[in-house]
Amino acid sequence: MGGIFEPFLDHHAKESQPPSVVLPSEFLAGRTEQGTRINLPLIVEPTMPELLPSDEQLQMMIDHKQTTLTVKQQRSLTSYVLEQIQQNKTVDGQELLRLADQKTAELAALANIILRSSKIGAPIALELYRGAMDAGDDRGAFSYANMIYRGYRGTPKNEELGIKLMSQLAQKGHPYAQMNLAAILMRTRSDQVEAALKLYQLAAKAGLHNAYAELGRMYRLGYGVHQDHAKAIHYFEQGSRAGNAQCNFMLGVYYSSGLGTQEKEPDQTKAFKYFQKAAMKGMPEAQYNVGLRFLKGHGVEPNSFNAAEFFRMAALQGFQLAQANLAGMYAEGRGVKKDLDEARQWLSKAAASGGAIGKDAEKRLAELNKDNSASKSPCVIM
């Protein structure tokens, strides 16, 4: 239902915006409206590979049910929209539907494919989403609203219209629109916190369990509301029951400290249980925490082999602390067979990420290179 666009969950992250609005025809020609070149290839023919992948890849997308449009239909639709934009003509929604055999939802599906495949296809996708929206497709409307609200990839930006469209979808019960509208209200309207809370609750009940994580985060940090750890735990527990990784992780954090819990004391056994649930969903922070608890015996019987395995899971996802600790275990042969080459590789990866941990990894790597026995490089657990 959300398509290629997901809810705005990170209120602290600044969305990257182009310095000015780029009109579709100018965007495709590689020029801004001020006439300055931008780093995009010039499109001369309607079916350039910059817009769509190869026929084989398009067929694979059909096989994986990303669309039911034939390869020929995908190319015909893309060519038609491109020609209209290049000639500064209006894209006819009825013609789009004709080319798509009246399959309204397939217009949005093709737009998703173009956005994923092309760095310069945003104007084409925008018109396809618009066509789907005008024909009554909510997925197309949601994606169109997102693109114009953000000015996505240089397309014309219109926050007011984007909010209006998302509000209409939210009223119809579209959970992704409810999530996005709630996030917008929290960022821009301090007097609309109650409305945002209601929207998050509606989205959560509709099955978007990230909404529980967002509600819990708000009460945990006191973001727009009075800080209330009991309420935060309540929402995290609801998300946990739905299998949300972030909610399970945050419950692990709460139980490891005892803050806000009924017992008021740390419960490492419960903390381990929740961290493990989040880890099995692939969350690297949780995998690291599970590894650390296996190593130290916090809430679970110590097991160096399991510790190394969970560190490895997180390290493979680029989690710096896990990389540094896994290197230490290889250096000592703790939970794994001693392997100084492996230790060096993981220390190099940790060092590449920089920061205090990276500097420590550089120091330990230098010590390993000086002393192959690693006697001067103990397993450092952070």
- 31 bridge partner residues: 37
What domains does the chain contain, in order, with CATH numbers?
1-157 (no CATH), 282-382 (1.25.40.10)
Instruction: Give the pLDDT confidence score for residue 143 in this predicted structure.
Output: 96
Instruction: Give the pLDDT confidence score for residue 10 in this predicted structure.
Output: 44
- CA 15 to chain CA mean position, Å: 13
Rounded to a whole number of angstroms, the distance between the first and last alpha carbons of the chain is 41
DSSP-H helix ranges across 338-379: 340-352, 355-370
Instruction: Give the pLDDT confidence score for residue 261 in this predicted structure.
Output: 77
Inter-residue contact 206 to 173 (CB < 8 Å): yes
Instruction: Give the pLDDT confidence score for residue 6 in this predicted structure.
Output: 62
Rounded Cα distance between 206 and 318, Å, is 33
Inter-residue contact 177 to 166 (CB < 8 Å): yes
Instruction: Give the pLDDT confidence score for residue 5 in this predicted structure.
Output: 73
Instruction: Give the pLDDT confidence score for residue 369 in this predicted structure.
Output: 87
Give one DSSP letter per residue of 36-54, joined into a string: -B-S-PPP-STT-TTTS--
Inter-residue contact 351 to 361 (CB < 8 Å): yes
Please choose, from the candidates 284, 276, 226, the residue with its C-alpha nearest in 3D space to the C-alpha of residue 255: 276
Low-confidence ranges of the chain (pLDDT < 70): 1-3, 6-49, 372-382
What is the rounded radius of gyration, in angstroms, for the C-alpha atoms of the chain?
25
Rounded Cα distance between 209 and 201, Å, is 10
Rounded Cα distance between 157 and 317, Å, is 35
Instruction: Give the pLDDT confidence score for residue 260 in this predicted structure.
Output: 79
Instruction: Give the pLDDT confidence score for residue 13 in this predicted structure.
Output: 38
Inter-residue contact 77 to 69 (CB < 8 Å): yes
Instruction: Give the pLDDT confidence score for residue 50 in this predicted structure.
Output: 79
